Structure 1
Amino acid sequence: MPKAYWVAHVDVHDPDIYAKYRAANAVAFAKYGARFLIRGAPQQQIEGQTRSRTVVIEFPDLQAATDCFHSPEYQAAKAIRDPISSADTVIIEGYEG
């Protein structure tokens, strides 16, 4: 079964409150076996448009990735983030080819 990923592009408008979101999302991510592969590292824009921050989170499978996003634990964390950031996020199944 292939792993799955959240890929998010985020602009953060209040870093102090965003730190509270990061602390709160740890509960959901631990529960669903998430592992950060990329977490806001410096990036080079080479084509198209994106936001200032990129995050890639690996999950054991598509079901875990989807369940995590819809979980009460993550939705509580997201409620902290929503007023102080703009994000484009996808959940995508990995390729095993």
Structure 2
Amino acid sequence: MAKGYWIAHVDVHDAEAYKKYIAANAEAFKEYGARFLVRAGQSETVEGSARSRNVVIEFPSYDAALACYRSPAYRKAIAFRQDASQGDLVIVEGYDGPQPGD
């Protein structure tokens, strides 16, 4: 089964309030097996437009990624994020097919 991913691009306008979101999302992320692959590290926008933070979170499956977003625990965390930031989030299924050179 392919993994699931959250890909988020975020501008934080209230860093103190955003810390509440980070604390609140931990319960849902733990419950659904989330693992941060990218968490606001150094980046360079080479095409298009961007936000200041980029985040990629891996889940054991696409269904787990969707379930986490829709969970009561994450719904509570969203309120903190929406008050402190603006962003874009896509949930995508991973790819397990052939790769270049296969």
Q: Which TM-score band applies after superposition, normalised by the shorter structure?
A: over 0.9
Question: Highest Rg: 1 or 2?
Answer: 2
What is the match of residue 40 of structure 1? Answer: 40
CA displacement, residues 60-80 of structure 1 (integer Å, 9 cap, x when unaligned): 001100000010100101111
TM-score, structure 1 normalization:
0.98
Partner amino acid, structure 2, of 1:94: G
Over 4 Å off, 4+ runs: none
Alignment gaps of 5+ in structure 2? 98-102
1:44-59 aligned at under 5 Å gives the runs 44-59=44-59
What is the match of residue 17 of structure 2? Answer: 17
Q: Number of residue pairs matched? A: 97
Percent identity of paired positions between Structure 1 and Structure 2: 57
Cα contact 2:17–2:83 (8 A) shared by 1:
no
Partner amino acid, structure 2, of 1:41: G
Deviation at 1:50, TM superposition (A): 1.4
Matched residue of 1:47: which SS? coil
Deviation at 1:83, TM superposition (A): 1.3
Cα contact 2:34–2:59 (8 A) shared by 1:
yes
Deviation at 1:42, TM superposition (A): 1.4
What is the match of residue 62 of structure 1? Answer: 62
Partner amino acid, structure 1, of 2:71: S
* Cα RMSD after superposing both structures: 0.6
